[in-house]
Amino acid sequence: MPFPRKGSPLRFSEQEMLRLESIRKSRTEEKRRTLRAALLLDSLCGLSDEAIARRHRVSRSTVVLCIQKFLQFGLNAALGELPRPGKPRQLPDDAIAWVQDCACQKPKELGYSYELWTYRLLIAHIRQHCVTVGHPALLKLSRSQLHKILRQGELRPHKIRYYVENRDPDCDIQMANVLHVYKEVEIVNEYRRGEAGRQLGMVTISYDEKPGMQALATTTPDRPPVVGTHPSHLRDYESVRLGTVSLLAGLDLHSGRVIETVSDTPNSSDFIAFLRKLDNAYPEHHQIRLVLDNHSAHLSKETRSYLQTMPQRYVFVFTPTHGSWLNLIETQFSKMTRTMLRGIRVSSKQELVDRIHQYFEEINAARWSSAGSTRWTRPLLYR
C-alpha cells in the first residue's frame, strides 16, 4: 500500500476561502474550475491525494498537479490553465501585415472589377501574389485564418459604413447659436412655470419637412391575428402606390404643440403657406423664431419677398449643413415613423393626409391634457 503524500500544507486567506467556496457551489462556472476548487478545499481538510481522487473520480496525478500549481504559482494558476508551448507559428508578422494592407485597399485599385472584397476574392489575390512579395507561407491560407487576421486588425473590408463629411465652415458657430436658443427656451419655460399665463414676447418653433411619405394600398384586405393559428397580421406582399405627400411641421418649444400642414411638394409656396398658418396661430405682438435648415425653399426669392411684407415678425435660426440632428422636430418625426407610419396602408392619398392630421391632433390633445401649456418639458441638446 503506497504511503500518503507528505507535502507542504495549504494555506488560504479568508478571501481565497470565500472565493473557492463560491466557485465550488456555482452552477454557472466551468466544470474544471469547480472541480479544482473542490480539490483544493478537500486537500485543506487533510484528505490524502488518493482519497480526494476517489471522491471526485479523477486520477491521483490530477490532484497532485492542481496542488502543485497552487503552491508554485498561486490560486489563479491552480484554477486555470498554465501556458503551453503549442504549435509554432506558421505566419510571420510581416506576412500578416501584408494581408491586412491588401484588405485596406479596394479591389478596383488592384485591377479587379469588384468594389469591395469578398473572402474568396481576397484569398485568391493573396495566394496569387504572396510568393512574389516574399510570403510563401500564405499559399495555404484558409478562410478561417484570413478571418482571424482581419479580426486581429479590426478590419471588415467587405462592408461599408456611411458618414457625412462636414463641409460647412460655419458649423461650430451655427451649432452654438442653435444650442443657445435651446438654452434660452429652457430658461423662459422655467420662468413661465412660476406663474401660469405669463405672456411671451417671442415664441420659438422647431421646424422641418418630412417629404416623400408614400401612400400605399393593399391588393387584398389584411387578415387579423387568430388565437392559436397565427399571432400577427397577415398581409399580401404586393402593394399599390398611390403617390406621395410631404409634411411641414413646427414644434412649439414652449407648449409642445405641433403645427403642421400636408402638401404634395415642400416648395417655396408650401413653406409660405406654413408661415401664414403660424402668423394666424400667434398674436401679432409675438415674434416667431424658427429653428430650421438651409433648404432652398427657406432661402428662395419668393420666401424673401413674403418676409419683407412682414418685417420683424419672423426670425430664422439656421442649423449647420447636414446638421438636422440639432433640430428637435426630428425626434417627433422619428417617433412618427416608428409608430403611426410603421406598416401603414391606406385606400387613397387623402386618407393618408387625414390620418396624419389625426395623429397630430391626438398628440396635441394628449400634451395639453396631461401637462398644460406651461408644463411642457423636453430634454434639450444643450445639456
Give the pLDDT confidence score for residue 163 in this predicted structure: 87
pLDDT of residue 191: 78
Half-sphere exposure (Cβ direction) of 82: Cα atoms closer than 13 Å: 12
Contact 367, 255 (CB under 8 A): yes
Give per-residue pLDDT as tens, 288-304.
Answer: 999 999 999 999 999 99
Radius of gyration of the chain (CA): 35
As a whole number of angstroms, the distance between CA 77 and CA 194 comes to 65
pTM: 0.67
SS3 327: coil
Tell me whether strands 202-218 and 287-292 are parallel, antiparallel or unpaired. Answer: parallel
All cell numbers assigned to 24: 465550488
Q: Which of 16, 3, 7, 24 is nearest to 71 (CA)?
A: 7
Rounded-to-integer distance, Cα 142 and Cα 145, Å = 5
* Among 180, 178, 196, 190, CA closest to 377: 190
The answer, yes or no, to whether residue 27 has pLDDT greater than 70, is yes
Would you state the pLDDT for residue 376?
46
Task: Work out whether the CA dihedral 247, 324, 178, 191 comes out positive or negative.
Answer: positive
Q: What is the pLDDT of residue 55?
A: 93
CA trace torsion 98, 99, 101, 103 (10° rounding)? 170
Angle formed at CA 64 by CA 63 and CA 70, multiple of 5 degrees: 95
What confidence tier does 1 reach under pLDDT thresholds 50, 70, 90? very low
Residue with cell 504549435: 87
Q: What is the pLDDT of residue 6?
A: 52
> Greater confidence, 168 or 330?
330
| Bridge partners for 209 per DSSP | 248
Cβ count near 321 (within 10 Å): 17
Which residue, 70, 84, 71, is CA-closest to 37? 70
**Phi and psi torsions of 259, nearest 5°:** -110, 125
Quick: pLDDT tens for 266-282: 899 999 999 999 999 99
Averaged pLDDT for residues 205-214: 94
C-alpha cell of 308?
419683407
Per the structure block, which three cell numbers stand in for 168? 460647412
Label residues 157-178 b or e (16+ Cβ within 10 Å = b): beeeeeeeeeebeeeeebbebb
Phi/psi of residue 300, each to 5°? -75, 170
User: For residue 123, what is the enclosing H or E element?
Assistant: helix 119-129
